[in-house]
Structures are given as structure tokens and as C-alpha cells.
Structure 1
Amino acid sequence: MSSPAEQFPPDPDDPDHDARGPDAGAHEHAHRRRRTLQEQARTTLARKVAKAQKAHRGIAKANAKRARVLADLQQWSSDPVNAKLLNPDYALEGVRGPVLTDAQASPRTIAAWEDQEIARRTVISEVACALHVADRTAENLIGESALFAGPMKATLTAMSQGEISYRHGQVLMEQLSFIPLEEAAELEAELLPAAKDLTVGKLKVKARRLREHRHPETLTVRATAAVAERGVWWEGRPDGMGTLTWYGTAEQTQAAHDRLTRIAQSTQDAERQDDNIPEDQRRTISQICADALADLTLDGVTPTGTGGGIHGQVMVTVPVLTLLGRTEEPGFLEGYGPIPADVAREITGGAPSLTRLLTHPETGAVLSVGKKCYTVPADLRRWLRLRDGTCRFPGCTRPASRSEIDHTTAWEHGGPTDYDNLAHLCGPHHRLKHQTLWSVVQEPGGILVWTSPAGAAHRTYPETTLGPPPTLPPKHAPSATPTPERPTPPSGPTAGDLPGEPPF
């Protein structure tokens, strides 16, 4: 007996006609295979996302653990007994008086730090060097950790369990730190459930809105206090670029952005109507805004008369072959780093004066500094400034131009005022060297080896490799008469060996 399918031929208009054709089995097999491969891909995707989620939760747990450890370190160093033990004076018979500072001028004195300040600075610098972060970053980490381990234990617990990220915790801390502790505990309890589900950006908006209703002070009072924090910051970026940040009132910054945008829009309209400008050279709104800001900032004249181009003092090192246009070897901008050859030539061409510093085109060794720049100490300071580039404490990026010159081996202890015993230190790290248990020695080539109070060694290297500066023939000058302000050290250098105003 034949089947119904054999008795009735397939209808060509039937949508299932192909499935019932002779290739139905092959189509069904291919369909099942594609579906299987898709399910496998979805399973693999889920597995890999789960791994990323687990790693993300692990980061939160590790950050929570770090917070507890740093909070414990901060609490230990705050103990008056431990703070006293971190003071170098504890092991001495007497107590040191005021300390000398200021490398560029006549010696002046500053008050010594108290035990608690020495302990605080010691812990910050130790953590910064151990974690390879800036001092300010280490200080913020320690401060945050103390808050997490103190009034924000619920947030710390959520991080320890991987329920929220460290960034979520920072958002909560940022908002809770503005209100009283009793209010903060209630707000934390209200925000934590949301923090487990919201993104950082959404949480920030929600937390800011709730904090606004709970803050004991009006927005007017807080805005008045916030104005005092206004400022401008610069940060170097790769490829010869930099970022300038202006922190000001909302109405000022928004109005400035609106003005720049209007300038850019009108300029772009004019450029589009100019057929002489190639299409690939037409600027975007963002590019015109940046150019307009540069023009207004550098050339715009204010009521006080400032403006008219760049007048700040900068130091640019340009290889002589680059200056002559024979090579494209980058120049070097102090406080930033390498800059394009054409930019270095442009800056050099507009400089009111130049300091001749010829270097070997291959080795970079100093060949000459020129006779007119040979005087001491100005030439020695300039040479050290070029060599160091920044403060020579580990991790510090403050430019040498805003730092002080320090004798690695103290002058009063016989340390000579010579290039291989001098280095730039910013004010805070200069004091750290002299008022804490940090110590430093200088190796050949200007390498500084710092030893922390915990015994860790950290090396810092010069920014520019230079040979020793040239020296004048020795002069037979009478020795200086010792004075109460600056006694001549028994085994130290004589006056004829030192600059007129010796560095620190």
C-alpha cells in the first residue's frame, strides 16, 4: 500500500515544498549544524564573559584588601610612639634645630617637621615608591582606605565580596564625604543596593541628587567655597601634545565653551565657502575650537596687558644637525620630552637669545657650552637643570626649573659643590631627604640611589645624558673668612672652589 505522499504529488505553491523535496535531509542536517554551532558560540561567549566578570570581581576584592592593609598602615603610623621612632632625631643624642633649604639663594632656615608629619610623609613616600605611583596618588589611596575601613565599612564589605567595583566605591565616597557622618551612614545604606546594579556614571548622578537633598548647607554656600578651588592644570601627552584643564565656575566654563563653539562654527562656514582650501585641510569644529583657544590664550590681550604670544621661559635642546635642517632628530622640551624637529626649529628661530650647547650627533656627549655661558654658578645650574629635567626623587615629575639644587652629600659634611654631588629636588622631597630616614648617594653619571626607611632601594636616572661640564683653570683666591651664618667645614671645599652663592 502506498503512502499519502506517494499518492498525492507535492504542490509547488506549498511553502514546505523544498523541505519535502529530495534534498530535505541535507537541508535539515545543515540547519541543525548551524544551530549547534550557534549554541556553541553562545556557550563560549557566556563562559568568557563569566571569566571577565570573575576577574572584575577579583579586582574589587583585591582593592578592598589593599584598602584594609593601607588603613592598617596609616593607623600604625599615627600612633605617637611609632611616629617618634620614625623621626631621625630619636637615635641622636641631641635634637636638630632648623634645617637649611633653598638651593638658588642665600641659605635660609625652615622649622623641622613634628613626629606625626614625619611619619605621614614617610608612609606616603614609601607607598608611592613601592607601588610606583605619584606621592599625591599614594596620599589619596591612604586617605580613601582610612575612610573605607572606618565610616564606610559597608561599602568596603561590598567590595570585598565583589558586589561593587572600586570605582563604584570611590563614587560613594566622593558624595558621602560632603555630608555629616550620621547622614552619610543612611545615604550609604540607601545607595549600596543601587550601586550593585547601576553603572558608575548612573550611580554618580543618583548619588549626587540624593546627596543634594541631605546636605546641611545650601548650594549657594558650597558654591562660594568651591570657587576658592579654581585653577588651571597642564599635563603632557604623547606625540608632542598636552592637555590644559581649566577648573572654574559652571557659568564661566560653559560660556567659554559656547563662545569657542560659536567661533568655530562661523569659521567653519567661512572655510567651506573658500574654494582655495583643499577638502583634506578643512578643520573640524573641535580643531577650530582648539586653535581659537590657543589664539585667545596666547595672543589675546587682557586688561592687565598680558598676551601677544608665548613669553614663558622654556628650555629646548636641539641637536645641531636638526637645527641646520640636515636631520629630523627630535628636539627636547624641558618638562615634557621629545618634540618634532620642525617645532624645535620654529621655537629656536623665535627665541630672543640662545645658549650654545653643542652635542655629539651620535653619542650626545657635551662638546662645548660656549665661553659666554662659562661663569659659575649660573652655567653649572643651567647644566644641572638640563641634565636632571625633573626632581630626582623616585616618581616625581616636577620640572627642575621649579625645584631646588641639593648637595647629595651635605656641604657642611664635606660634600663638594660639583656636578657629581648636586641634583634637583622639589621643595617637599628636599625636606623629606633632610628630615626623615630617607638617604641618597650619587653614582657616576648622575644616578641617584635612594634608600627608604623600610630599606628598599630605588634608582633615578638623569633625563639627559651629558658629559661633565667644562671647568675654568683653578684660581688662587684667598680662603673666605668663616662667618657665623656659614662656617667653613673642616674638611670641605674652599671658597675658591665654590660658586659665589653655593647651592644647598
Structure 2
Amino acid sequence: MFDVMDEAALIDRISVLERAKSAAAAEQAVLTAQLDTTRRAREAAAGVPAARRGKGLGSEIALARRDSPNRGGRHLGFARALVHEMPHTLAALKAGRLSEWRATLIVRESACLDVADRRVLDARMCADQASLDGKGDKRIEADAKAIAYELDPHAVVDRAVRAESERSVWVRPAPDNMTYVTALLPMPQGVSVYAALRREADTCGDGRSRNHVMADTLVERVTGRPADVPTPIAVDLVITDDTLLGGDQAAARVPGYGPIPAAVACRLVADAAGDPQSSATLRRLYRHPDSGALIAMESRARAFPKGLTRFIAVRDDTCRTPYCDAPIRHTDHAVDHATGGPTTAVNGRGTCAGCNYDKQAPDWRVSNHRDRDGTHTCQIVTPTGARHQSTAPPLPGRPGNRRSIVEVAFADELAWHNAA
């Protein structure tokens, strides 16, 4: 039981814990840099080429921190910079004067500088730790950016030019069956896109709010169709036959997005089926009645056939590396085909590109197995011997060893037709 404390004591304890979080982040950075140095030294002694030393270490760190592999690479770069080049920022983090995120902002804004200039920025920002008090995220970022530009304006400009090659678009789930569609664009293009949407909202007077008009205009200009008309783009929707045809309310699932309410899923199917410009097709999947696991299919081919690739993508939903929610880009052999791994649903796993490449690092081992209830499990063993595993999510539907009402009706109808 917690001791009863007055309000002032509670605030003090919260403050102490926040400083402890910063100190823990500083220690993680030190240990991460030490692991990086130790791993590279061991691999150098073993004759590993310089270009391959430390391969997969970012993903290994991410697994240890229960984080995505993409963030693992950031944690590794952050630790290298703090420990080897930015001692004042590290000290401020350890003392609790900086949060881990604010220290990350300083490291990020100094990334374009050479080591000497980076040390100058580090000292000017954090040598006097008291100067950090009261500064929020934007102030920290702005100060670091201003110092970087003062020290080497050409490096800052060059980084801005290179950043244009990183423009991209991605989507992620939002609450209540919504999505965030995010575009990373060069500043002139991003501002012009937003200005065009605002201009449309300013001239529209049909009763919709400004935000609604801007969102609908974005959809219409990207797809070429009104926002309230179904778009003829292939989207896999996993739904039970009872939900689709029998009135059951079990949630459906869109691979890569997650569960959606039964009523919303049925409306999407009805809209697509009723639209003459769209095409709705059905593909039957079989799930284990107890675990909900997808039933496997097999092939002896070297490359995964299209049907098996689709099957694994539907089964795994997102990258199978623990804590990685990235979309599936590769269908990978857990045990490599070159070492005798079969091209089967059990040995196959869906991964993002980065996780597939990281698996090729020395001393990484990946294995899959299927339990008696059909649950598919992927186990990863890192070079240090740490074990991590993930299981494929169950298909929509209620557990229980029974045949659905609709399935029985279909079977009876098919039997009658064959008898005729």
C-alpha cells in the first residue's frame, strides 16, 4: 500500500520520478553505446567486414526496449552522439534537467554538423544546466537550430535540400474507425496544399464545417471521385460469414489497420457491391474454431506463390517482429530456403523490409511453429541469446467449436444442388 501523502509531497514525488526517468534514459544511452563498441570490437576480431559490423544491433536494442525496430535505430544513433560527442547534453539528461525527447531534439538539430561544431553546440546549449529550466520542446528545438545555423549555415541548407528526397506519405489508425493520412512534403508544397484546401473551404457554403470541406476536398482531389462515393481501390476486409450474411456483430478486420465494427464493415461491402464502378469479390478463409487461427496452405516453390503470400499477409496483419507495427513488405522464410527452410505457411512470415534485412545479421535465429490449436508463433533469438516472440492475431469471429448458421445453410444448398 502507498503511504498517504499530502498534495505537496505528491507533487515532489512526481518530480522525483520524472528526474529518475531522465536518469534512466541517460544510463540506457551509455549502455547502448557500450554495447555498440563491444559488439563492433568482437566482430572486428572475428574478421567481420567493417561494413557489416553492428548490423542488426538497432533492432536488437529495440526488442530489449519493447520498441519498434525503426525506433531502435534512432536509440542507437542518439546514444552514439550523446556518449561520444555531446557530454554536456548527456550530463543534463542524467541530472533530470532535460527529458529524453528534448535531448533527442538537440541531437537531431546538431546532426548535420561536424564533430567540432557539434561539441560547441552541446556546450552552448547545456553546459549551464540552469539555462534549460523553463524551456519547452519548441524553444529547445529553435535554440539548437539557431546555433547550428550560426556555426555552419551551409550544412543546415544542405540538410534541408537532402530532406526533400525523404518526402513520403503514410497512414496509421485513429480512434473510431478513422485514419491519419500524413504527408511529409517540402515546405512550399506542404503550405500550398494546405492553402488550396483552406481556399476551397472559404468558398464552399453547403453547410459543412471548414474541417469537413477540407477533408472531403483532399479525398476528391486525390481519388478523382466525390468523397461519399466508394473508391474502386482493392482493400482486403476479413469478416465472418455470420457477420456478413447472418446478422452477427463480431468485429471485422482490415489487414494493416485493425478491427472495425460489424455495421461499418457490412456497409463497406454493401457500398462496393452496389457501385457499378467497383468490384466486390469473396475469398473464403478457414479459421480454427477455438483459437481463431487461420488454416495453413503449402507450396514446394522457392518463391512464395501469390496465393500463399496473400494468405500470410492476411494471417500476420503487420510485420511479425515483436513491437513492429510496420506494413508487410516482404514474405520471408523464417528458416532460410538456402539452409533447407520450406516454402510453407508455417515457415513463412510477413515482415517489413528493415526487419527482413536485420534477420540476416550474424547470430540472429528465427523460427516459426504452429500450435495444436492452429496458433502461429514466431520466435526470434538475438545474438545475446535474448528470446522474443509474437503470435499471429486471430481472425474475426467468436470462439467455440461450432459451424456457423450460414456455413450450414451453404453446405445444405450445395448438397441439394449436387444431388440434382
Corresponding position: 1:243 with 2:189: no
Corresponding position: 1:225 with 2:162: yes
Q: 1:357 aligns to what?
A: 284
Choose the corresponding residue for 1:403, options 330, 343, 353. Answer: 330
Q: Helix, strand or coil for the counterpart of 1:328?
A: coil
> Which string of whole-angstrom CA distances, capped at 9 and with x for unpartnered residues, describes residues 303-343 of structure 1?
xxxxx974543211121122226123222111111123243
Choose the corresponding residue for 1:457, options 387, 390, 401. Answer: 387
Choose the corresponding residue for 2:257, options 336, 340, 365. Answer: 336
Q: 1:201 aligns to what?
A: 138
Corresponding position: 1:387 with 2:315: yes
Corresponding position: 1:420 with 2:346: yes
Q: 2:406 aligns to what?
A: none
Letter matched to residue 198 of structure 1: K
Corresponding position: 1:134 with 2:68: yes
Corresponding position: 1:315 with 2:236: yes
Give distance in 2, aligned partners of 1:439 and 1:361: 28
Corresponding position: 1:448 with 2:385: no
Q: Helix, strand or coil for the counterpart of 1:297?
A: helix
> Which string of whole-angstrom CA distances, capped at 9 and with x for unpartnered residues, describes residues 1-54 of structure 1?
xxxxxxxxxxxxxxxxxxxxxxxxxxxxxxxxxxxxxxxxxx944332222222
Corresponding position: 1:290 with 2:192: no
Give distance in 2, aligned partners of 1:50 and 1:191: 27
Letter matched to residue 186 of structure 1: V
- Change beyond 3 A, Cα 1:174–1:360: closer
Letter matched to residue 329 of structure 1: A
Corresponding position: 1:82 with 2:12: no
Q: Return structure 1 stretches of 4+ with deviation > 6 angstroms.
A: 365-369
How far does residue 75 in structure 1 lie from its aligned partner after superposition? 1.4
Corresponding position: 1:152 with 2:86: yes
Counterpart mapping for 1:4-403 below 5 A: 44-79=6-41, 81-83=42-44, 85=46, 115-116=49-50, 118-192=52-126, 193=128, 194-217=131-154, 221-267=158-204, 269-271=205-207, 283-299=208-224, 310-324=231-245, 326-349=247-270, 350=272, 352-357=279-284, 364=292, 377-400=305-328, 402-403=329-330
In 2, are the aligned partners of 1:168 and 1:195 still within 8 Å (CA)? no
Give distance in 2, aligned partners of 1:155 and 1:64: 10
Give distance in 2, aligned partners of 1:321 and 1:436: 48
Q: Which of the pair has more CA radius of gyration?
A: 1
Give distance in 2, aligned partners of 1:187 and 1:44: 42
- Change beyond 3 A, Cα 1:385–1:229: closer
Give distance in 2, aligned partners of 1:379 and 1:142: 38
Q: How many residues align structurally?
A: 371
- Change beyond 3 A, Cα 1:329–1:295: farther
Q: Helix, strand or coil for the counterpart of 1:244?
A: strand
Give distance in 1, aligned partners of 2:119 and 2:338: 55
How far does residue 231 in structure 1 lie from its aligned partner after superposition? 1.7
> Which string of whole-angstrom CA distances, capped at 9 and with x for unpartnered residues, describes residues 420-471 of structure 1?
33333444433444452122332223212222221222221113359xxxxx
> Which string of whole-angstrom CA distances, capped at 9 and with x for unpartnered residues, describes residues 207-238 of structure 1?
32333333231866554333222222222233
Give distance in 1, aligned partners of 2:81 and 2:155: 25
RMSD over aligned Cα, in angstroms?
3.3
Q: Helix, strand or coil for the counterpart of 1:419?
A: coil
- Change beyond 3 A, Cα 1:223–1:70: closer
Corresponding position: 1:436 with 2:362: yes
Letter matched to residue 289 of structure 1: M
How far does residue 76 in structure 1 lie from its aligned partner after superposition? 1.3
Q: Where does structure 1 lack aligned partners over 5 or more consecutive residues?
A: 1-42, 91-113, 272-282, 302-307, 370-375, 467-504
> Which string of whole-angstrom CA distances, capped at 9 and with x for unpartnered residues, describes residues 241-274 of structure 1?
221111112222122212212322333x431xxx
Question: Higher mean Cα deviation, 253-262 or 434-443?
Answer: 434-443
Q: Helix, strand or coil for the counterpart of 2:312?
A: helix
Instruction: Provide the identity percentage.
Output: 23
TM-score (norm 1): 0.65
In 1, are the aligned partners of 2:22 and 2:99 still within 8 Å (CA)? yes
Give distance in 2, aligned partners of 1:332 and 1:270: 34
In 1, are the aligned partners of 2:318 and 2:326 still within 8 Å (CA)? yes
How far does residue 148 in structure 1 lie from its aligned partner after superposition? 0.5
Give distance in 2, aligned partners of 1:430 and 1:219: 33
Give distance in 1, aligned partners of 2:186 and 2:140: 23
Letter matched to residue 334 of structure 1: P
How far does residue 398 in structure 1 lie from its aligned partner after superposition? 3.4
Letter matched to residue 442 of structure 1: N
How far does residue 135 in structure 1 lie from its aligned partner after superposition? 1.0
Q: Where does structure 2 lack aligned partners over 5 or more consecutive residues?
A: 273-277, 298-303, 397-420
Q: Helix, strand or coil for the counterpart of 1:379?
A: helix
Q: 1:35 aligns to what?
A: none
TM-score (norm 2): 0.77
How far does residue 128 in structure 1 lie from its aligned partner after superposition? 1.5
In 2, are the aligned partners of 1:319 and 1:358 still within 8 Å (CA)? no
- Change beyond 3 A, Cα 1:224–1:425: closer
Q: 2:404 aligns to what?
A: none
Give distance in 2, aligned partners of 1:152 and 1:259: 43
- Change beyond 3 A, Cα 1:62–1:433: closer
Letter matched to residue 82 of structure 1: E
Q: Helix, strand or coil for the counterpart of 2:154?
A: coil
In 1, are the aligned partners of 2:112 and 2:159 still within 8 Å (CA)? no
- Change beyond 3 A, Cα 1:187–1:118: closer
